[in-house]
Chain A
Amino acid sequence: MPKTHPAGSGQLPPPPFALDEPGTIEFTAERALAGQALNRFALSLRSPGGRARFLADEASYMRRFGLTSTEITLVAERDWTGLLLAGGHLQAMLKLAATVGQDLWSIGAHTAGCGRDELIAACPRTVSGLPEAPAAPETPMAPETPMAPGTPMAPGTSGDDA
């Protein structure tokens, strides 16, 4: 996985319909076990006291949670991709991002290998596709209703989603 990423390196390719890396870093049961200390540490930042103590002295706070020196380095470098690969859950890493003044776009840009502004400009990254083999249609339970068309939106910087 790239640890560095040139900002504005060109247009992002359309996301593929696949669940492998680096497109997707799945939080498997194995990662949950590997990232136990890391996630415990990050989730401690859900309280204002935890955030204050961490910001006062990052390294010693992390050592109290039993993080390895490798993990401490990943946090110190805000290496979001490395943290997810090491078993950090995205939702837990978001607490860390919030604490250090970053957000979902920062994590997303790092894991997508592009600049933050480039990612913001590229989202939503529209693709089109339906399930390959839908089961045989059942007897309808109710008539279908027409729906309002989606509204295409201009790119902007409207916060983080989860």
Chain B
Amino acid sequence: MASVIGGIGISHTPSMGLEYDRGMASPGGFSPRWQPWYDGTRKVEELVEQLAPDHVIVVYNDHLNYFDLDNYPTLAIGVGTRFRQADEGWGPRDLPDLDGDLAWGLHLTRELVEREFDLTVSQDLAIDHGIFSWLPYVMRRPWPVPVTPIAVNMIRQPLPTANRLRSLGTALRASVEAFPGDDRVLVIATGGMSHQISGARFGIANEELDRYFLRRLPGHLGELVAVGVREYMRLGGTEAAELALWFAMRAALSERAEAVYTFQAFPAITGCGALVMAEPGALPAHDMEAKR
């Protein structure tokens, strides 16, 4: 059977992507605001390479760049051989499309529905900065691995509950293990940490909350789920609701999975964090030892 070998939680923002393009193209490198994020994600890139996944499932949220409000799915899965980049209003960035894997897309759809996750199936999904902003920081081009994207509503109320996203993670793990063969699957969940981008609270930055979240998620999922989405919104800004997506990643891993790397920064308006977790034996032994 296929297996989940690790998980990553990571933030996304439009500027993260634009700053990557700018930083890599400029002789001066990254801006002072974003240099720490580039530096901090070097280790993530290295760990992804060592984890050597055959397939990646990404739980993310679209920002009205593909879906629109006339039909807004709470949960949607991309099924196809290719996922193009969405135009967010400024035109697309110079990045290759994502590869899909039909066998995985069809399998996950079937298995998730079997486990009572009735996802909207998107056969022509275009992906926005929810994935493309952090991707070049953690994977080299051409993208080394096909992806199955799962989009979660963070746009229109009511949002799914924290517990629903934990259940999604549990169902993802079982669905992966029902896949024939021995593929190694990495589950990535992406959402901003604390941030709010409208109203008088614009720019709220609760780094204490972000650090607490990164510290507690590996070993205390239940505690963080119990906090509830609205409490994260109150403390960390409305868009901190996206932290709930990280629960799907943690729940897709076993209790024996361990955090191998965490990093946090606050470049501009969005709390940016990364957490890499690995199942026992998924990484070369020295990496698991190095952290102790």
Chain A interface residues toward B at CB < 8 A: 15-19, 21-29, 32, 35-36, 39-40, 43, 45-48, 51, 84, 89-92, 94-99, 104, 107-109, 111-113, 119, 122-132, 134-138, 140-145, 147-154, 156, 158-162
A159–B202 touching, CB < 8 Å: no
Q: Are B198 and A108 in contact (CB under 8 A)?
A: yes
> Please, which residues of chain A bring their CB within 8 A of the CB of B219?
140-144
Count of chain A to chain B residue pairs whose CB atoms are closer than 8 Å in the complex: 264
Pairwise interchain contact A125-B205, C-beta atoms closer than 8 A: yes
10 contacts between A and B (CB under 8 A): A24-B198, A40-B69, A91-B65, A111-B202, A130-B212, A130-B235, A134-B226, A141-B220, A159-B14, A160-B15
Contact A129 B18 (CB under 8 A): no
Asked if B201 is an interface residue, CB under 8 A from chain A, the answer is: yes
How many Å lie between the Cα of A16 and that of B221 in the bound state? Answer: 27
- Cβ–Cβ contact A138 & B264, under 8 A: no
B107 at interface by CB-CB < 8 Å:
no
Which B residues are within 8 Å of any A CB, using their own CB?
13-16, 18-19, 31-34, 36, 40, 63-65, 68-70, 86-91, 129, 155-158, 192, 195-212, 214-216, 218-223, 226-227, 230-231, 233-235, 237-239, 255-270, 291
How far is the CB of A51 from the nearest CB of chain B, in Å?
8
The secondary structure that dominates the A interface is loop
Min CB–CB distance B225 → chain A (angstroms): 8
A126 contact set on B, CB distance < 8 A = 205-207, 266
- Known A-B contacts A18-B234, A40-B70, A91-B64; the reply to A158 vs B223 at CB < 8 A is no
- Chain B residues within an 8 Å CB radius of A92: 64, 69
Residues from chain B with a CB closer than 8 A to the CB of A17 are: 234-235
* Shortest distance between the CB of A36 and any CB in chain B (Å): 7
Cβ-neighbour of A129 out of B14, B192, B206, B255 (below 8 A): B206
* B216 surroundings in chain A (CB, below 8 A): 144
Contact: B262 with A147, CB < 8 Å? yes
A26 to B230, CA, bound (A): 12
Q: Are B202 and A161 in contact (CB under 8 A)?
A: no
Q: Is B222 a contact partner of A138 (Cβ separation < 8 A)?
A: yes
By beta carbon, the residue of chain B nearest A151 is B36
Q: Is the CB of A138 within 8 A of B223?
A: yes
